[in-house]
């Protein structure tokens, strides 16, 4: 399976999102990762559905929306109606209605992702694997860009890969997010990750095209 790089615009210039998204596209990316934070599930506030809607108007890249919010169920429709192609929510945010949320995303014809924080074991989401398009293993504590990769999370990538085999879900997207650079990307892809989110590493690079390639080659 091809490795998908999803540059995170959390590290972009918010006054020039269109310009920065075009840069990502010219550099070869097919996805753009949008970090939604509510100041409650995580201690930071970023982007909401209106911004996703504006981004939708200026790009045909796949909008990979990562919801780091407390009550994702309430907002799924808003984000899909705003143009999200993939909606990823956190298991820890609403673990009592995970199936319902996944079904709602699918009913609207979009891809569903489920994410776990560094302290949540992979076994917590095992049962949902048959329903999901993507699992997102956080490799930093969600909330901020530019943090250091937590190596203890790597074994969880391997666990999810194992579960995907168990359930005959070879096409499951296993995404990692946080502290991804040319070195940590390899550590993750070696054990089964096939989608890499990177923010600061890409946006601090002098050559975005080379930086994207350095993650996958």
| Interface with ligand DX5 (CB under 6 A) | 8, 10-11, 33, 35, 66, 140, 142-147, 177-180, 197-201
Q: Which of 188, 204, 148 is nearest to 10 (CA)?
A: 204
Find which of Zn ion, ligand DX5, none residue 83 binds, CB within 5 to 8 Å per kind: none
**Residue placing its CB nearer to ligand DX5 in the complex, 163 or 201:** 201
DSSP 84: -
**Residue placing its CB nearer to Zn ion in the complex, 38 or 177:** 177
Residues in contact with 53: Cβ distance below 8 Å, sequence separation at least 6, in sequence order? 82, 83
**Residue placing its CB nearer to Zn ion in the complex, 175 or 214:** 175
Whole-number Å distance between alpha carbons of 115 and 57? 27
Find which of ligand DX5, Zn ion, none residue 104 binds, CB within 5 to 8 Å per kind: none
- Chain contacts with Zn ion (rule: CB under 5 A): 35, 66, 177
Question: Which residue's entry shows tokens 């996958």?
Answer: 216
Sheet holding 111-116, edge to edge: 4-7, 195-198, 173-177, 134-138, 111-116, 86-90, 62-68, 31-37
Q: How far is the CB of 145 from ligand DX5 (least distance, A)?
A: 3
Q: Which of 114, 40, 45 is nearest to 76 (CA)?
A: 114
**Residue placing its CB nearer to Zn ion in the complex, 66 or 90:** 66
The catalytic residues are 35, 177
Find which of ligand DX5, Zn ion, none residue 192 binds, CB within 5 to 8 Å per kind: none
Q: How far is the CB of 130 from ligand DX5 (least distance, A)?
A: 25
Find which of Zn ion, ligand DX5, none residue 110 binds, CB within 5 to 8 Å per kind: none
What CA–CA distances, in Å, run from 166 to 154, 169, 188?
19, 8, 20
The CB-nearest residue to Zn ion is 66
* Residue 112 neighbours by CB distance under 10 Å: 22
Q: How far is the CB of 168 from Zn ion (least distance, A)?
A: 28
């Amino acid at each position: 399976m091809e490795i998908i790089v999803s540059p995170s615009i959390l590290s972009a210039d918010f006054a020039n999102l269109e310009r920065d998204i075009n840069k990502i596209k010219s550099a070869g990316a097919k996805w753009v990762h949008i970090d939604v934070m509510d100041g409650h599930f995580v201690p930071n506030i970023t982007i909401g559905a209106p911004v996703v809607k504006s981004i939708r108007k200026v790009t045909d890249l796949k909008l990979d929306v990562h919801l780091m919010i407390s009550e994702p169920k309430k907002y799924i429709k808003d984000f899909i109606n705003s143009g999200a192609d993939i909606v990823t929510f956190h298991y820890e945010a609403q673990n009592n209605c995970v199936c319902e949320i996944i079904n709602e995303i699918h009913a609207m014809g979009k891809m569903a992702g489920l994410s776990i924080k560094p302290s949540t074991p992979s076994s917590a989401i095992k049962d949902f694997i048959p329903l999901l398009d993507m699992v997102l293993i956080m490799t930093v504590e969600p909330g901020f860009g530019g943090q250091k990769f937590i190596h203890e999370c790597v074994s969880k990538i391997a666990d999810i890969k194992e579960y995907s085999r168990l359930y005959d879900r070879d096409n499951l997207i296993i995404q990692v997010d946080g502290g991804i650079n040319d070195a940590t990307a390899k550590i993750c892809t070696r054990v089964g990750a096939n989608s890499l989110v990177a923010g600061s590493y890409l946006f601090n690079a002098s050559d975005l095209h080379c930086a994207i390639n350095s993650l996958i080659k």
